[in-house]
Chain A
């Protein structure tokens, strides 16, 4: 089977490549002639939503991307942030939603592979990974199969590659029934004077292909789905690529060795749109042309056409521009690791992207225009409607003990141990805090005291009801989780998962969520340095819950001064830092309403960003000064669930007398933002704690003493006592029982 390059370009073929008639006209105007079949493929690869960000660019530009520590913001393979002492952290999050739904193991595995490659392409050794996963409702027939395959795929790739998975999220909602989300995050460490970029420089230099061979996998993926001209591709080849973590591990070691040798001028991994995207990017960024000779490309299948080679998404491949005098040394390194090494072209000064195959020039396009001239849309959008607040006094009743047991054992709040025990959380020997706490913490290898904290957050039900507040809340919760282990939040990456942007109400969700993210990032000094947009997450016209995942990185100067969520000892005072003076109780969109009463009404809790920053900075100072002995942010499920999680992590109970006056339900289950539980080993009647409260008062923070640790049960007021052991059974049971049922 061959695909010829002289296939007539019909409107149907153009449409099958995902190009709109006006987009095709733009191509004709740009090149002044009809494109060849291969050229059409190249345009479709460069101009699809995934590569061009044509619907989202306008809004992404509004995000803050700079800061005193930011070395590289969005636009490269990953963001780079200075952590002092000549070290930097390199990180990004990316989605692999559609492939994971089609083939969960390989879809998730290659998602992990792709993000790891983005990180080590920049010269960083990966040190931590996280995954934010959203599945359909547990009872949906596909859900269990997807959970099982995705988790195994993430573990299968990450464990073999050798990166610790230190955090993540797993949630269930019917709106993901036809479209699960797999958002993979990776972070690596590099030296600030040894960061590698994709921008090529120098004319006539060799363009080198490295890594695994090119096959037909991935052709027919994102932009091509047509039966007319080639239904056999769809039948015979999975559109999901197959991951090979062993090759990736060898590629990592070979790339780092090569970079240390001084041979590398520019490097770009082959991800989406493979050879096309990586070659165009390297040339266009460096104001250079690229000439590729496809006869030199290592292939694993016979008679591959130019079209297939240019669009293949085979994994574990890299493209580099090398110093010619180092060619031999470079080749020896790759041979040692058993990897392919081939000079497949060179840089030119004509600003053309030329592709030669079997003596024919199959493509000759203006290289800058392929990227720069991609269409960009200001899509129409409508302001999302936010629900009315709950009526005053609308506080449905429940037995506190029963409600709490049900909540900690519910699908969204139960222990994720079943998931993270399938991930290697310990490899590299630097993991200080494992999944199950507020943030994963990893030691900075080679530094005596420094550590990095990682957290990934978003509350999609908040985003659905108020995208602006939901966007703010995702950023604030991530920032809060990093703060809760004593880290200074440095920067974040965003993975924006939404439905079809051509629908104004979806575009409205997107626009408002990004605006909320931007406002929160600015207020908290938490810039976005990398990210990914995943649109068209829809099935049968119904979009997913808007899910702008925020993954953040924080710096800990001295890891002996971190705290965990587990109560440290009995007899310690529990402070409710950031509490509202009236003890609040925002029940709209709370898990209490949803899980106990089946209600999904009301607006989400608003985030007061000024208050958020003030409280976080105060909590961090308590941790760093050694006053705080344990800390946990209050989020899903409210104060009662936060106390329960601290108790379960330590097997130490607590007594919470309850609000002196008023209703315990909103006090215990309200999801007001910007709050933490902090324990201190201070006498609640003593001078030291009085001084702490004076400082809080000065900072405009209310930090009341609400209870004391100790015993083997949680006691709320006079009416409810729940043994910690009962909570643990409920908390640990749901996931294994569900997966084994």
Chain B
């Protein structure tokens, strides 16, 4: 499996993401820049976290309109796996590749802490390394992770198994509706999530609950 990481000015968890992909797959992923209009032939495209363009407007709003995102959308249509983490999730939502919106945290404050996630759908390309219903640890670090969707969209997401990760055991850090932490698109090949699995992949991180996600998506045996 080949992977590419989208780089945009202001993203800052790109190095964490590249390190995780490299450590788990043994290969350094390719990178693409904001102005690139084509993406090399890869099986996985990752949009990492950060504050693209400062996020002084709605988070991800400027990034979603950069040329590289059109190329990402085209690939997604062809079934290429796309993973957006944190700002990456916000960008995918702003780009219309995932439904709903990510609002300011209910606390109105940035929050960095470990939460619990339950794996709601273990039957995606991203989650088959987990057991259905498995509760994992995962850190969050964001200011705007409060997921919202209208009732109709929400019903569809819930009904179609598109809610992949849910904050568990009362650890919802941001007020997300239905405790939603991560969703896939209707095709199942685009995942957006607020938590940072890339920061929990090795003993130095205090655990490796994030690792199976990358192993699944990279086709690496655990």
Residues of A within 8 A of B204 (CB): 430, 432, 443, 559
B171 to chain A, nearest CB (A): 13
For A162, the chain B residues whose CB sits under 8 A away are 12-13, 50
* B53 adjacent to A246 (CB under 8 Å): yes
The reply on B196 being an interface residue by CB < 8 A is yes
B219 at the A/B interface (Cβ < 8 Å)?
Answer: no
Find residues 220-268 in chain A having any chain B CB closer than 8 Å to their own CB. 244-247, 249-250, 253
Task: List residues 424-439 of chain A with CB under 8 A from any CB of chain B.
Answer: 424-430, 432
- CA A422 to CA B16, docked complex, whole Å: 20
A426 lies within 8 A of B10 (CB): no
Q: Are A160 and B55 in contact (CB under 8 A)?
A: yes
> Which residues between 411 and 429 of chain A lie within 8 Å of chain B, taking CB atoms?
420-429
In the bound assembly, the distance between CA atoms of A159 and B111 in angstroms comes to: 10
Q: Is A384 an interface residue (CB 8 A)?
A: no
Say if the beta carbon of B110 comes within 8 Å of chain A. Answer: yes
**Given A246-B10, A249-B9, A443-B204, does the pair A427, B51 have CB atoms closer than 8 Å?**
no
Contact B54 A426 (CB under 8 A): no
Q: Tell me if B12 and A421 are in contact (CB < 8 A).
A: no
Q: Which residue of B lies closest to A336 (CB)?
A: B33
Q: Does B139 contact A (CB under 8 A)?
A: yes
Identify A245's interface contact among B54, B111, B112, CB under 8 A: B54
Chain B residues with CB below 8 A from A705, complex form: none
Q: Which residues B38-75 have CB closer than 8 A to chain A?
A: 50-51, 53-56
B139 touching A426 by the CB < 8 A rule?
Answer: yes
Residue B198 CB within 8 A of the other chain:
yes
Flag if B13 contacts A427 (CB, 8 Å): yes
Write out, one digit per residue, whether chain B residues 65-99 have a CB within 8 A of any chain A CB (1) or not (0): 00000000000000000000000000000000000
Q: Are B12 and A425 in contact (CB under 8 A)?
A: no
Q: Which residue of A156, A245, A253, A427 is within 8 Å of B141 (Cβ)? A: A427
* CB atoms of A160 and B198 under 8 A apart: no
User: In this assembly, does B27 line the interface, its C-beta being within 8 Å of a C-beta of chain A?
Assistant: no
A343 at the interface (CB under 8 A from B): no
Residues of A within 8 A of B110 (CB): 152, 155-156, 159, 422-424
On whether A250 and B10 interact (CB within 8 A), knowing A429-B16, A559-B204, the answer reads yes
- Given known A427-B16, A429-B198, contact A160–B112 (CB-CB < 8 A): no
Tell me which residues across on chain B come within 8 A of A253, comparing CB atoms.
9
* Contact residues in B for A246 (Cβ distance below 8 Å): 9-10, 51, 53-56
Complex formed: what's the CA distance from A250 to B143 in Å? 21
Shortest CB-to-CB span from B218 to chain A, Å, is 17
Q: Which residues of B contact A423 (CB under 8 A)?
A: 110, 112
Report whether B141 and A426 are in contact in the complex, using a CB–CB cutoff of 8 Å.
Answer: yes
Q: How far is the CA of A432 from the CA of B203 in the complex (A)?
A: 10
**A245–B54 alpha-carbon span in the complex (Å):** 7
- CB atoms of B12 and A422 under 8 A apart: no
CA distance A156 to B54 in the complex (A): 10
Residues of A within 8 A of B56 (CB): 246
B144: min CB distance to chain A, Å: 12
Q: Judging by beta carbons under 8 Å apart, are B10 and A424 in contact? A: no
Judge whether A693 is part of the interface by a CB distance below 8 angstroms: no
Cα of A133 to Cα of B150 in the assembled complex, Å: 43
Chain B: minimal CB distance from A124 (Å): 15
B156 within 8 A of A: no
Q: A422, A426, A428: which contacts B109 (Cβ < 8 A)?
A: A422
8 A Cβ contacts from A19-40 to B: none
Closest to A148 in B: B109
Chain A hits for B20, CB < 8 A: 429
Q: How far apart sit A43 and B162, CA to CA, in the bound complex (Å)? A: 65
CA distance A425 to B198 in the complex (A): 14
**Chain B 137-153: CB-based contact to A (< 8 A → 1; otherwise 0):** 00101010000000000
> In the bound complex, do residue A422 and residue B13 qualify as a contact, i.e. CB atoms below 8 Å apart?
no
Contact (Cβ within 8 A) A159 B141: yes
In the bound complex, how far is the Cα of B56 from the Cα of A245, in angstroms?
10
Which residues does chain A contribute within 8 Å of B131, judged by CB atoms?
A: none
**In the assembly, what is the distance between CA of A424 and CA of B196, in Å?**
12
Interface status of A338 (Cβ within 8 A of chain B): yes
Nearest residue (CB) in A for B17 is: A429
In the complex the two chains form, what is the Cα distance from A246 to B199 in whole Å? 22
**How far is B10's CA from A161's CA once the two chains are assembled, in angstroms?**
8
Q: Which residue of A lies closest to B139 (CB)?
A: A426
The closest CB in chain B to the CB of A430 belongs to B204
Q: Fill in one digit per residue for B166-203: 1 if any A CB lies within 8 Å of its CB, else 0.
A: 00000000000000000000000000000010110000
Contact A422:B51 (CB < 8 A) given known A162-B12, A246-B9, A427-B141? no
In the complex the two chains form, is A422's CB within 8 Å of B112's CB?
Answer: yes
Q: For the complex, what is the distance from the CA of A443 to the CA of B13, rounded to whole Å?
A: 16
28 contacts between A and B (CB under 8 A): A152-B110, A155-B110, A159-B141, A159-B143, A160-B55, A161-B12, A162-B13, A245-B51, A246-B9, A246-B53, A246-B54, A246-B56, A247-B54, A249-B9, A249-B10, A250-B10, A253-B9, A337-B9, A338-B9, A421-B113, A423-B110, A423-B112, A426-B112, A426-B199, A427-B141, A429-B15, A429-B19, A429-B20
Question: 8 nearest interchain CB pairs?
Answer: A162-B12, A246-B54, A160-B51, A429-B16, A424-B141, A155-B110, A246-B10, A426-B199
